Every structure is written in C-alpha cells, then in structure tokens.
C-alpha cells in the first residue's frame, strides 16, 4: 500500500534542504518495500504570507492523515515583533499531533573531528529525549510594558510518560543508563520531575538512573560527553542542550530528530532552524535533513536497511572529504546531496 508523507519545507534554507532530503528518498525507491506519496503543504512564515496563519487547517488536516510528517525549518526575522510568528505554528503542530517525545541522537563522525568546534571528541554516543509538548513553552506568556511572565508548568502525568519513553529507549541500548536533567535546587517543576523519575526507575531495575543539574550538565557535555547514554529533560533545557551538543558533532547542520506521541504518527526534522543568514545561497548543510529521512524510514516505515544505507553514505561522503561551508568547506548543498546519492 502506498504511504503518505506530508512535507513542510517552511522558510529560509527549508526548501533547499527539503529538496535534498527528497532527492535521497527518491534515489532509494528501488530498495524500499513500499511506495511513498509526497504531499507538500505551506507551514511557518510562508503560510502566514499565504493564509495569515503559520498552521493552516489544511496543513494540519493533511499532517493528521499522513503516515509521517517531514519538516525542514521555519522562521524569519521579518516576523520579529509581529503578532503572528512562524514558531507559533511549530508549537501548535507538535501539540495538535501529541508529539511529546523528541528524540535527538548525537553521532560523532571520525572524519569531522578536526573540523568540530570542540576538538578530539571520540566514543560519544548519546541520545537526548526532550519533552516537547509541555513546560514553559506552553504555559501562559504575558508581556506588559514594564514586566513580563512565562509560566513553567508540568503535570505528573506529562513527566511520567516522557520518563517511560526515556527508560524504554535506554533499555534497548547497551549501556542502559538514563541521566535525568533538571534544576531541582530552584524549580518546583524540577522537584516533581526528579520525584517522578525516581518512581519510574523502580519499574526498570535493568536501567541505571542518575540525576544531573542542568547547569553542570551543560559543562559535562563539553568536558565529559562520554558519560552520557540517554539524557531526558524538559522542553527548554532539551532545546538548549542539543544545540550545544551539536558542537561535538561538528555542526548544527548534521543533527536529525524524530518526534513521537501515542497515536503512532511521527514527525521528522533537523534540530536547526531556517538559517536566514545563509538562505538562498545553496550552501546549507543538508545532512540533518537527510538523516531525518533515514530516521523516518527506520522509525515510521520499518525500512531499516534503507535507513542504514543513507547513514553509511553520509559517513562515506565525509570520509571522501566533502564539506559544506559550516564545516569549513566549499561543497554546495546540491553537490553534497549528489555525493551522498552516489554512495548509497
Ligand atoms: N524547527 C525549526 O524549524 C527551527 C529550529 C530552530 C530555530 N528556528 C527558527 O530559525 C530562525 C533562525 O534561528 P537561529 O539563527 O537562532 O538558528 P538556526 O539554527 O537557524 O541557525 C544558527 C546558525 O547555524 C547555522 N546553521 C543552521 N543550520 C544550518 C545548516 N543546515 N547548514 C549550515 N549552517 C546551518 C546558521 O547559518 C546560523 O549561523 C528563527 O526564526 C528560529 O525561531 C526554527
Ligand atoms: C523554533 C523553536 C520554537 C524550536 C523550539 O524551541 O522547539 C526550535 O528551536 C527547535 O529546536 O525545534
Ligand atoms: Mg532549538
């Protein structure tokens, strides 16, 4: 049966990297067990321009009826200060699809070690499980002339389900270790977070649990990243720590992610944004997007062999010396994509 993939290219470098991701998918047609229909929809800034809203009903309906959603990136400085922003659409979409668990794996490429901002990092292999539909992102935001407030809000149930997701993830990995990251020395939400983490851990005697405060975690990610296996943390901390972690990988441009909920429908997107500073120049690194396609094939469509082909081809491409500008090279988005396809 044909599967439906809804694509949301969005803004900035979004369309450039989406094209790269879909070219790789299309090059794999012969080795896939299913056929895939691609349905593109407006989302983010482009949707504000066309429909006055970043998440038009037609886009949300299409996403709800898809077998998977592939998102590139949204956002543009021209909406700074505007009442309606592209980012609101992203939060609405995650919430409406119930995507509470955001999986952000970190892979270190041997070949990129010398190019990464953080040097000589090896044997790092961890995944961040970021809570995605709660916390300060979704509490009330109030802005007045001389004061402002954002509410950080978590229920025990929201914490429990992300903890279970993290412990289940750890159970499938060889080290079976969870680091729960919070700020329990200050925040009430973090005190509840830590209590629920301890409770859920009781059901996973085969998994070890460690607690880490977020500020020292930020330091340890740079000084001792080898210590981490599965990191589970709240929405805002997960956003910040994963952009930080990308400097171990080489660049923000190589980090993919998947987002899951109860329904089985998942969304795949690189963790970076629309990079307005380099949009339209054909120099964006498409690897985060291409690896998100690989995650989609493995996690939504059970096409593990095809996913592995993509991951191996990316590795070979780096080994053969191809580098986009973010890694100090001159390879264009299109040329890197073609090099990856040639190595599939
Ligand atoms: N999921 C998303 O769609 C998403 C994620 C993060 C930020 N944003 C939005 O993106 C816009 C820009 O935000 P920002 O500048 O803080 O973050 P950004 O991730 O867009 O860019 C940060 C820096 O990394 C570089 N970069 C990012 N992706 C790259 C890639 N694939 N190849 C090469 N270089 C890359 C950019 O050029 C920039 O210098 C904002 O509107 C923000 O809200 C969207
Ligand atoms: C654009 C923004 C709302 C988003 C977030 O903070 O979740 C982004 O930074 C991300 O990491 O996906
Ligand atoms: Mg982010």
Note whether 215 and 237 are same-domain residues. yes
Q: How many domains is the chain built from?
A: 2
- Note whether 125 and 195 are same-domain residues: yes
Report the CATH number at residue 292: 3.40.718.10
Whether 245 and 260 map to the same domain: the answer is no
pLDDT at residue 121 is higher than 90 = no
In angstroms, the CA 96 to CA 36 distance is: 24
Domain holding 210, by residue range, is: 117-249
What pLDDT digit, counting tens, does each position of 45-75 carry? Answer: 999 999 999 999 999 999 999 999 999 999 9
Does residue 228 lie in a domain region?
Answer: yes
pLDDT in tens, 160-195: 999 999 999 999 999 999 999 999 999 999 999 999
In a domain, 109, yes or no: no
Q: Is the dihedral of CA 25, 26, 30, 35 positive or negative?
A: positive
Closest ligand to the CA of 132? 2
CA 130 to ligand 1 center in whole angstroms: 18
Say if residue 229 carries a ligand binding annotation.
no
- Do both 92 and 127 map to the same domain? no
Summarised one tens digit per residue, pLDDT across range 263-303 is 999 999 999 999 999 999 999 999 999 999 999 999 999 99
277 known member of a binding site: yes
Does residue 328 lie in a domain region?
Answer: yes
Looking at the structure, do residues 138 and 222 belong to the same domain, yes or no? yes
Same domain, 311 and 234: no
ipTM over the 0.95 cut-off: yes
pLDDT digits (tens, 9 = 90+) for 227-274: 999 999 999 999 999 999 999 999 999 999 999 999 999 999 999 999
274 and 238 in one domain? no
Does 243 participate in catalysis according to the annotation?
yes
> Would you place residue 112 in the very low, low, confident or very high pLDDT band (cuts 50, 70, 90)?
confident
Residues 98 and 174 in one domain: no
Is the pLDDT at 120 greater than 80, yes or no? no
For residue 240, the CA-to-ligand 3 centroid distance in Å is 6
CB 337 within 8 A of CB 285: no
Residue of the CA atom closest to atom 1 of ligand 2: 87
Measured in whole angstroms, how far is the alpha carbon of residue 102 from the centre of its chain?
A: 6
CA dihedral for 3, 266, 110, 283, sign (positive or negative): positive
Domain edge (last residue) among 249, 282, 310: 249
Domain end residue (candidates: 219, 249, 279): 249
User: Residue 116: pLDDT band by 50, 70, 90 thresholds?
Assistant: confident
Is 37 assigned to a binding site? no
Residue of 17, 271, 274 to mutate, ligand 1, most atoms within 8 A of C-beta? 274
Both 134 and 193 in one domain: the answer is: yes
Instruction: Give domain status of residue 193, yes or no.
Output: yes
- Judge if 124 and 245 occupy the same domain: yes
Q: Do residue 131 and residue 244 come from a single domain?
A: yes
User: Looking at the domain assignment, is residue 112 inside a domain?
Assistant: no
The number of CA neighbours under 13 Å toward the Cβ of 100 is: 18
In a domain, 167, yes or no: yes
**Residue 11 banded pLDDT, cuts 50, 70, 90:** very high
| Predicted model pTM | 0.98
Same domain for 18 and 62? yes
- Annotated active-site residue in 11, 42, 229, 239: 239
User: Residues 3-18: what's their mean pLDDT?
Assistant: 98
Please give the pLDDT value at position 193: 99
In testing the pocket of ligand 2, which one of 84, 90, 245 has its CB within 8 Å of the most ligand atoms? 90
Domain membership of residue 110 (yes or no) is no
């Amino acid at each position: 049966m044909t599967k439906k993939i809804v694509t949301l290219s969005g803004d900035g470098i979004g369309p450039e990297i989406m094209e790269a991701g879909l070219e790789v998918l299309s090059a794999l047609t012969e080795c896939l067990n299913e056929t895939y229909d691609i349905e593109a929809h407006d989302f983010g800034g482009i949707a504000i321009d066309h429909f006055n809203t970043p998440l038009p009903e037609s886009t949300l309906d299409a996403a709800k009826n898809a077998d998977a959603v592939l998102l590139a990136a949204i956002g543009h400085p021209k909406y700074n200060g505007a009442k309606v922003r592209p980012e609101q659409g992203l939060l609405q979409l995650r919430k409406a699809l119930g995507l509470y668990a955001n999986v952000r794996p970190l892979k270190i490429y041997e070949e990129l070690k010398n190019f990464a901002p953080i040097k000589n990092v090896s044997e790092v292999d961890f995944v961040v499980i970021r809570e995605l539909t709660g916390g300060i992102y979704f509490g009330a935001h109030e802005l007045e002339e001389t004061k402002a407030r954002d509410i950080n809000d978590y229920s025990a149930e929201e914490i429990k389900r992300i903890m279970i997701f993290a412990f289940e993830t750890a159970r499938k990995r060889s080290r079976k270790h969870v680091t729960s990251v919070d700020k329990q020395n200050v925040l009430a939400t973090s005190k509840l977070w830590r209590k629920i983490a301890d409770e859920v851990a009781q059901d996973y005697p085969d998994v070890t649990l460690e607690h880490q405060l977020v500020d020292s975690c930020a330091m340890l990610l740079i000084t001792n990243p080898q210590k981490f296996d599965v990191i589970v943390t709240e929405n805002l901390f997960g956003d910040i720590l994963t952009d930080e972690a990308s400097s171990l990988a080489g660049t923000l441009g190589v980090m993919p992610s998947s987002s899951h909920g109860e329904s089985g429908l998942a969304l795949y997107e690189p963790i970076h944004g629309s990079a307005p500073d380099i949009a339209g120049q054909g120099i964006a690194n498409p690897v985060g997007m291409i690896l998100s396609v690989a995650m989609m094939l493995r996690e939504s469509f059970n096409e593990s062999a095809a996913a592995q082909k993509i991951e191996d081809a990316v590795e070979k491409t780096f080994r053969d010396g191809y580098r986009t500008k973010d890694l100090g090279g001159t390879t264009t988005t299109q040329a890197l994509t073609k090099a990856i396809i040639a190595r599939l």
